[in-house]
Amino acid sequence: MKALFKAGPQPGFELVERPEPQAGLADVKIRVLATGICGTDLHIQAMDATAQSMIRVPLIPGHEFYGEVVEIGDEVREVKVGDRVSGEGHIVCGMCRNCRAGRRQMCINVQSVGVQRDGAFAEYVVIPETNVWVHHDPSITPELGAIFDPFGNAVHTALSFPLVGEDVLITGAGPIGLMAISVARHAGARKIAITDVSAPRLQLARQMGVDLAVDVSTMSVREAQRELGMREGFDVGFEMSGHPSALPEMIENMNHGGRIAMLGLPAQPIEVDWGKIVTHMLTLKGIYGREMFETWYAMSAMLSSDPVLHRNVAAVVTDVLPASRWEEGFAVARSGRGGKVVLDWSGV
């Protein structure tokens, strides 16, 4: 099969022929139709310090995908050949304390598709049946199905705290931050502000109905509060960027008792005002991946019941390129100029 491949610990990928993966007894083999390019994939392409700390080579990367089931193992019970599916990329051990207590997203032995085992930047990928998400809704296109993984990040982050009537600050208008706008609106938020320095991404945020898109190179979060007519600080924050200045500024502008969900991974240590966290009784919660599988049910329910959310999440995909043009796709994703980039594998 054709696959993007990293043979060793050097930057870059090659589009080469690789052996097709074989399905085990409890596995499902999927013909990949579309894949999303994630920030993790950019780290792996560059083979930077982040990638060096987490991947195993040789490796086929890629963990955001949509495809069609073409083969199932003898012990597979529910998934059928011909099903259109996405996949949960965190493969858990099932035996650690968290797994056995039903908290699989907190597995201490997790392996990630496209990171510690071969992934979906290929014509075929194999995952356990327990990680397969079958799409029964015909309105889920390959492009939308391919971004269920990052949409799940947005949903997991946004639904970490009650949002009805709350004022929400989102730092980082990347694809996940953009999707979080619609999730927060669906969940009942009052005012929603999002920050970034990318004019195209802030414009996308406006198209998705954010109350205020803030270019933090020209406007402070404090000024944004005044423009929104807020008398007090934000009630809930979603830190999506990992930028070293984002979390300290968010903390500075939270209401007493404010709650912050952190998805962005900082590339360097961040100094925060711990005195303010204590005296203002702030809550900081780390978010990783999706809840298995409560987040997946929530995603499907919101998309099927809220046409505006469905439209906005689908609109986060701004670039679709054939997989043969993967280098161009990675360049667009790295530029940060638009939304989500999807590679089309159907013609490979």
Reduced to 3 states (helix: H, G, I; strand: E, B; else coil), residue 44 is helix
| Strand-pair category, 340-344 with 317-322 | parallel
- Do residues 253 and 233 lie in contact, with contact meaning Cβ atoms separated by under 8 Å? yes
Q: Are 73 and 26 in contact (CB under 8 A)?
A: yes
Q: Please indicate whether residue 40 is annotated as part of the active site.
A: yes
At 308, list the tokens: 């505006």
Q: How far apart are CA 128 and CA 77, in angstroms?
A: 11
Contact 198, 214 (CB under 8 A): no
Cβ-based neighbours of 308, under 8 Å, separated by 6 or more = 182, 209
Residue type, 131: N
Q: Report CA dihedral (164, 167, 172, 178) to the nearest 10 degrees.
A: 40
- If one counts every other C-beta atom within 10 angstroms of the C-beta of residue 262, the result is 22
SS3 145: helix
In the DSSP assignment, the letter for residue 20 is P
Query: How many Cβ atoms are within 10 Å of 307's Cβ, its own excluded?
Result: 10
Asked, as a colleague might, if the bond just before 293 is cis with ω within 30 of 0, I would say yes
Cα angle 78-81-87, degrees, rounded to a multiple of 5: 65
Catalytic residue among 35, 40, 195, 295: 40
Q: Can 135 be counted among the known catalytic residues?
A: no
* Total length of the chain: 348
Q: Is 304 helix (H, G, I), strand (E, B) or coil?
A: helix
CA distance 79 to 82: 9
Q: Which of 35, 43, 63, 243 is catalytic?
A: 43
Q: Which are the catalytic amino acids?
A: 40, 43
